[in-house]
Amino acid sequence: MNLLAVRGLGKSFGGVKAVDGIDFDLKAGELLALIGPNGAGKSTTFNMVNGQLCADRGSILLEGRELVGLQPRAIWRLGVGRTFQIAETFSSLTVVENVQMALISNARRVFSFFRPAASLERARAMDLLDAVGMSAQADRACSALAYSDIKRVELAIALANTPRLLLMDEPTAGMAPKERNDLMALTRKLVVERHIAVLFTEHSMDVVFAHADRMIVLARGRLIAQGRPADIRRNPQVQQVYFGTGSTFALDAAAPAAGITT
Ligand code: ADP
Ligand code: MG
């Protein structure tokens, strides 16, 4: 069975159909990219899955269980995680302390009266930091880290909640190409090793083509294509939306509104 099954999902804001009846599936162990020009409905889709927004219509099933109508916290408890930016207030904590805090909060989720010993939490936090290549920097303050390293710690924090589905909205925003590729290669490794599903939005087409197992393409709230990167690259409708300007790998801002057919 698919981990996630989305059917007929829709959300309007006033007269704007931000998401207009989309269907897609996601399996465990799969890295699925959600792409589309600005205003295509990526964030709206994303926020319906995590419960920040309630769908007007349609269904989002997680292993057969309906998520539409549930509060974000209830969805999180069912194993849908997301990466959060490390809050300013936590940036004075060390890297490992940040991960330990996430582990404590997850222990409350899973065993409401059980609290693991501090030493156990530290060992588990170190394992997670190892998994994202950050154990050598465990005792540094998060405020002292390079931006790309903060992104790795945010990933470790998200993993502390043992998600079955991890949601990442533009995880590589603000990063240089090399760092983007490193972060997505790491994400890919974690997806395979931990057999989790990842749904991410991305505006860098080269990152998506290099790392996603499959992609879905939105334009003006409609799903215009889905498939493996190699197939999407050849899809005429996608080419019209994204490559219409001739700037091969430009997405978002460069996508010509006039070229979008829905
Ligand atoms: P993307 O993330 O692909 O750039 P969004 O999902 O943010 O697209 O937006 C899709 C459409 O819905 C856009 O036309 C946007 O202006 C509109 N929209 C998104 N959020 C809101 C909101 N909270 N209120 C009104 N309109 C919104
Ligand atoms: Mg967005």
> Does the pLDDT of residue 60 top 90, yes or no?
yes
Cα–Cα distance, 51 to 81 (Å, whole number): 11
Cα-to-chain-centroid distance, residue 185: 14
Q: 101 near 90, Cβ under 8 Å?
A: yes
Cα–Cα distance, 230 to 232 (Å, whole number): 6
Cα–Cα distance, 82 to 155 (Å, whole number): 9
| Nearest ligand to the C-alpha atom of residue 18 | 1
The topology under which CATH files domain 1-79+164-262 is: Rossmann fold (3.40.50)
Q: What is the mean pLDDT of residues 139-167?
A: 93
Cα–Cα distance, 44 to 222 (Å, whole number): 12
Q: Ligand 1, atom 17: nearest CA belongs to which residue?
A: 18
Identify the residues whose C-beta falls under 6 Å from ligand 1.
Answer: 13, 16, 18, 36, 38-44
pLDDT given at position 253: 39
Amino acid of residue 112: S
Ligand 2 centroid–CA 127 distance in Å is 32
| Nearest ligand to the C-alpha atom of residue 19 | 1
Cα–Cα distance, 73 to 26 (Å, whole number): 21
Radius of gyration of the chain, Cα coordinates, nearest whole angstrom: 19
Share of the chain above pLDDT 90, in %: 66
Q: 100 near 122, Cβ under 8 Å?
A: yes
pLDDT given at position 165: 97
Ligand 1 centroid–CA 18 distance in Å is 6
How confident is the prediction for the chain on average, in pLDDT? 87
Read off the pLDDT band of 216 (50, 70, 90). Answer: very high
Counting Cα atoms < 13 Å in the Cβ hemisphere of 164 gives 13
Ligand 1 centroid–CA 11 distance in Å is 10
Residue extent(s) of CATH 3.40.50.300 domains in the chain: 1-79+164-262
Q: What is the mean pLDDT of residues 48-70?
A: 97
Cα–Cα distance, 230 to 186 (Å, whole number): 21
- Coil, strand, or helix at residue 168? strand
Counting atoms of ligand 1 from 1, which one is nearest the CA of 46? 6
Ligand 1 centroid–CA 24 distance in Å is 20
Q: 25 near 4, Cβ under 8 Å?
A: yes
Q: 121 near 104, Cβ under 8 Å?
A: yes
Read off the pLDDT band of 114 (50, 70, 90). Answer: low
Counting atoms of ligand 1 from 1, which one is nearest the CA of 47? 6
Task: Count the Cβ atoms, other than its own, within 10 Å of residue 60.
Answer: 23
Q: What is the mean pLDDT of residues 5-25?
A: 97
pLDDT in tens, 196-214: 999 999 877 788 889 999 9
| Nearest ligand to the C-alpha atom of residue 255 | 1
Ligand 2 centroid–CA 117 distance in Å is 40
Task: Count the Cβ atoms, other than its own, within 10 Å of residue 253.
Answer: 8
Distances (CA, A) of 29 to 192, 205, 215: 5, 21, 14
pLDDT in tens, 157-199: 999 989 999 999 888 888 898 999 999 999 999 999 999 999 9
Q: What is the mean pLDDT of residues 1-17?
A: 96
Q: Is 234 left (phi over 0), alpha (psi -120 to 50) or beta?
A: alpha
> Does the pLDDT of residue 125 top 70, yes or no?
yes
Helices (H), the chain: 42-50, 72-77, 95-110, 118-131, 147-160, 177-194, 205-211, 229-234, 236-242
pLDDT given at position 110: 61
pLDDT given at position 116: 58
